[in-house]
A and B are shown apart, each in its own frame.
Chain A
Amino acid sequence: AQTVTQSQPEMSVQEAETVTLSCTYDTSESDYYLFWYKQPPSRQMILVIRQEAYKQQNATENRFSVNFQKAAKSFSLKISDSQLGDAAMYFCAYPAPLETSGSRLTFGEGTQLTVNP
């Protein structure tokens, strides 16, 4: 069974500093995608970044980047130059392919990020 684990329930960072959120996952698939979503106090689920397992290069979206280690099944999110608006719950997610030709996202437990001014 596919599982996603986020071992840091809470993290904090000073404004303008860099923080890394950890995620590990388990899958027997060789080609897959991984996602980070953020959920601010509004509770909206917002896509932050996605990574394709076959791509060697780590994905980057402005101040957000990932450190993808396929062999270790690790997918961490780095936030550079942290801003107050980055404060949110961050979820790592793995989309499991299903035999029924459907799909489902399996989420980690989430990491609550606090940004201190």
Chain B
Amino acid sequence: DSGVTQTPKHLITATGQRVTLRCSPRSGDLSVYWYQQSLDQGLQFLIHYYNGEERAKGNILERFSAQQFPDLHSELNLSSLELGDSALYFCASSVGRTSKDTQYFGPGTRLTVL
């Protein structure tokens, strides 16, 4: 158990809908990262937050947004869902914000868009 929690574990929804994925980092960690793992794209970085501030953005779609709250938990919002958004979404956390900080992953949220 990495100490990173993600809810829900599974999510099934329809095209055009909006969903929110939640992540709680390990105790003491200030950084939260979001990654998407799909069959054809592999593991892709979406976004990085440190202590409430956005620090880095990957190829995150405009339909996707995220935020990190004062209690350091983070939410990833996916809207106008398409079939291609079906994937495993991981949250990871680390103590600091640099490339030398080890990222620990949560169990993931499996999103299925029908």
Contact = CB atoms under 8 A, between A and B. Distances in A.
B90 A45 contact: yes
Interface residues of B, number: 28
Contacts of B56: 98, 100, 102-104
Contacts, number: 76
A32 B99 contact: yes
Interface stretch (B22-30, B61-69, B70-78, B103-111): B103-111
B58 interface: yes
Contacts of A52: 100
A109 interface: yes
A28 interface: no
Interface of B: 2, 31, 33, 35, 42-43, 45, 48, 50, 55-56, 58, 88, 90, 92, 94, 97-105, 107-108, 110
Given A45-B92, A104-B48, 16 more contacts: A35-B102, A42-B107, A43-B107, A44-B108, A45-B108, A47-B2, A47-B102, A50-B102, A95-B99, A95-B103, A101-B98, A103-B94, A105-B92, A106-B45, A109-B42, A110-B42
